[in-house]
Amino acid sequence: MTKLLFLLPFQAKAALLQGEVPVGCLLVYDGQIIGKGKNGVNFTKNATRHAEMLAIEEALDWCKNRNVAYKEVFARTDLYVNVEPCIMCAGALRISGLRRVVYGCSNERFGGCGSILDVASDQRTTDSQPVLQCVPGIFAETSVQLLKEFYRGQNPNAPNPKVKKAHDIQDIPLPSLEGVQMKDPT
Amino acid sequence: MKMKHSGTMKAVLADDLTKSMEFVRVYAADITNKKETSRLVKQLGEIFPLTRLPHMKRVRCLKENEEKHLQIILCCVDQEEDLSSSPTLNEIFQKAPGFDQTGLGNLFSTRVARNQPKTRAQFEEAQSHWPTSFHEDLELTKLLNGTYFTKTEQERINLHMQMAVELADQGKQSGEVPIGVVIVNSDSSEVVASCYDLRNTASNPLYHAVMLCVDLVARSQGGGAWEIQDTPGFWWRKPHEASNRLADLSSDTSLGSQPDNLQNDVGQPTLVRDVTESQSGQNNLKRKFNELDDSSYLCTNLDLYVTQEPCSMCAMALVHSRIHHVFYGVTHPDGALGSRYKIHCQPGLNHHFQVFRGVLEEKCRNLYSEIT
Ligand SMILES: [Zn+2]
Ligand SMILES: [Zn+2]
DSSP chain A: -HHHHTHHHHHHHHHHHTTS---EEEEEETTEEEEEEE--HHHHT-TT--HHHHHHHHHHHHHHHTT--HHHHHTTEEEEEEE--BHHHHHHHHHHT--EEEEEEEETTTBTBTTS-BTTTPPPSS--PPPPEEEE-BTHHHHHHHHHHHHTT--TTS--EE-SS-B-TTTSPPPP-TTPPPPPP-
CA distance A156 to chain B (A): 9
Judge residue A160's burial from the number of C-beta atoms within 10 Å of its C-beta, 0-12 exposed, 13-18 middle, 19 or more buried: middle
Average pLDDT of span B324-349: 96
Is residue A123 very low, low, confident or very high in pLDDT (cuts 50, 70, 90)? Answer: confident
What is residue B228's predicted lDDT score, i.e. its pLDDT? Answer: 79
- A111: nearest CA in chain B? B349
pTM above 0.95, yes or no: no
pLDDT digits (tens, 9 = 90+) for B73-123: 999 988 766 666 778 898 889 888 889 999 999 999 999 999 999 999 999
Contact list, B224 vs chain A (CB under 8 Å): 44-46
pLDDT for B260 equals 36
Query: How far apart, in whole angstroms, are the C-alpha atoms of residue B47 and residue B99?
Result: 9
pLDDT tens-place string over residues B122-150: 999 999 999 999 999 999 999 998 899 99
Task: Flag whether residue A111 sits within 8 Å of chain B, measured between CB atoms.
Answer: no
Q: CB of A19 within 8 A of CB of A148?
A: no
Which residues have C-beta under 5 Å from ligand 2, the single-atom ion? Answer: B 208, 311, 313-314
Cα gap A84→B326, rounded to integer Å? 27
Q: What percent of chain B has pLDDT over 90?
A: 67
The question of whether A52 is a catalytic residue gets the answer yes
- In tens, the pLDDT along A9-63 reads 666 666 666 677 778 889 999 989 999 998 888 889 999 999 999 999 999 999 9
Tell me whether residues A112 and B317 touch, CB distance under 8 A.
Answer: no
Q: Would you call B57 an interface residue with chain A, using a CB distance cutoff of 8 Å?
A: no
**pLDDT at residue B308, rounded to an integer:** 98
Distances (CA, A) of B296 to B217, B221, B321: 10, 7, 11
Cα separation of A158 and A149, whole Å?
11
Kindly report, residue by residue over B288-309, the tens digit of the pLDDT. 444 444 457 899 999 999 999 9
Segment A51-80 mean pLDDT: 95
Residue B351 at interface with chain A, using a CB cutoff of 8 Å:
no
Look at residue B32 and tell me whether its pLDDT is greater than 60. yes
For residue B316, the chain A residues in CB contact (below 8 A) are: 86-88, 91, 110, 112
Question: For residue B287, is pLDDT > 50?
Answer: no
Q: What is the pLDDT of residue B40?
A: 95
